[in-house]
Amino acid sequence: MKKPVFWIASAIVIAGLGAWLWRTVISPPPFIEVSPLSYTDYASWSVVPKETPPAVWQDGWAIDVFLVDSASELKGRSGKQLDKKEQKARLQGRMFEDGLSAIGPVYAPLYRADAKGDDLARAFLIYLRKHNQGRALVIASNTTLPDALLAEIEFEPDLEERFGGFYRLGKDPQSLSLTEGLDQPAESYCPAHLTESGDCVRNVMTVRDSGFSVLAPESDVAAFATDFSEWLRANAAPMAEPLGDLEEVEIVDIRRPGDTDERREKRNDRD
């Protein structure tokens, strides 16, 4: 009597497994469309400082970290899957922030998997315009950086001196290519003093901890930051506080008491 029950149970399991294989491997549902992100909204960042760091014209040189994390790539076949992906991105971002904050404040944008270049370029531009305030910066990444993002480094006229190069993150960081093509390597985006010293791209080891990547104990990023800070203080002048928007001021005609339009007309007639 037990054999029919066993075969029925087996058939149910096989049918369920077949349905799972069909949904997940053979014919999975399409990825849902993710709405464009607005990087003026803090919710579009997996990591962003809770308080605005002081501008360079207030406290002198300091360094920001712009983090491009592969875990911040948003992609899912359902709303539930997408929410889970976003939650993991925020947790992973905080894990990296714990180590990278030895350099300075960390900014890590979320981005759409199918619009990586456009999203990261916009996020970087918003960061420069709204958050940076003349501070030096480095870019840390554990994934390939799109050309659209790297192009913003060249377009920003006052960034050359205060850009501190790239921090390449990973268990084997030397194997990661930061740029999409070989025609223009990462070193071509660094200022001359970094390429000459070989410090344009610094390798930072990571390890796994409770399912997340964290900086390895031997990854002394604070020493890297100290070297760059010393170079800035010796060789670069901090940006002055920008002037506000120019306002057109109406020029008012200043007159003595009794100097009316009527009296002026009479005087002109006599002349």
Phi, psi of 107 (to 5 degrees): -125, 115
Would you state the pLDDT for residue 251?
47
CA dihedral over 138, 143, 149, 154, signed as positive or negative: positive
Q: What is the mean pLDDT of residues 130-147?
A: 96
Position 80 pLDDT exceeds 80 = yes
Would you state the pLDDT for residue 90?
97
Which residue blocks in the chain are alpha helix, DSSP H? 2-21, 56-59, 79-100, 116-126, 147-155, 192-197, 221-235, 261-270
Would you state the pLDDT for residue 30?
85
Would you state the pLDDT for residue 16?
53
How far apart CA 171 and CA 214 sit, in angstroms, is: 10
141: β partners? 68, 168
Closest CA to 220 of 231, 205, 198: 205
Position 56 pLDDT exceeds 90 = yes
Q: How confident is the model at residue 140 (pLDDT cuts 50, 70, 90)?
A: very high
Kindly report which listed range (178-182, 196-200, 226-230, 263-267) carries the lowest average pLDDT score.
Answer: 263-267
Position 262 pLDDT exceeds 90 = no
Position 11 pLDDT exceeds 70 = no
How far apart CA 198 and CA 187 sit, in angstroms, is: 9
Q: What is the mean pLDDT of residues 65-87?
A: 96
Contact between 197 and 230 under an 8 Å Cβ cutoff? The reply is: no
Average pLDDT, the chain: 86
Position 20 pLDDT exceeds 50 = no
Position 186 pLDDT exceeds 50 = yes
**CA diameter of the chain:** 130
Would you state the pLDDT for residue 246?
43
Would you state the pLDDT for residue 241?
87
Would you state the pLDDT for residue 268?
60
How far apart CA 175 and CA 169 sit, in angstroms, is: 10
Would you state the pLDDT for residue 106?
98
Q: Exposed, middle or buried: residue 14 (CB in 10 Å: 0-12, 13-18, 19+)?
A: exposed
Position 261 pLDDT exceeds 90 = no
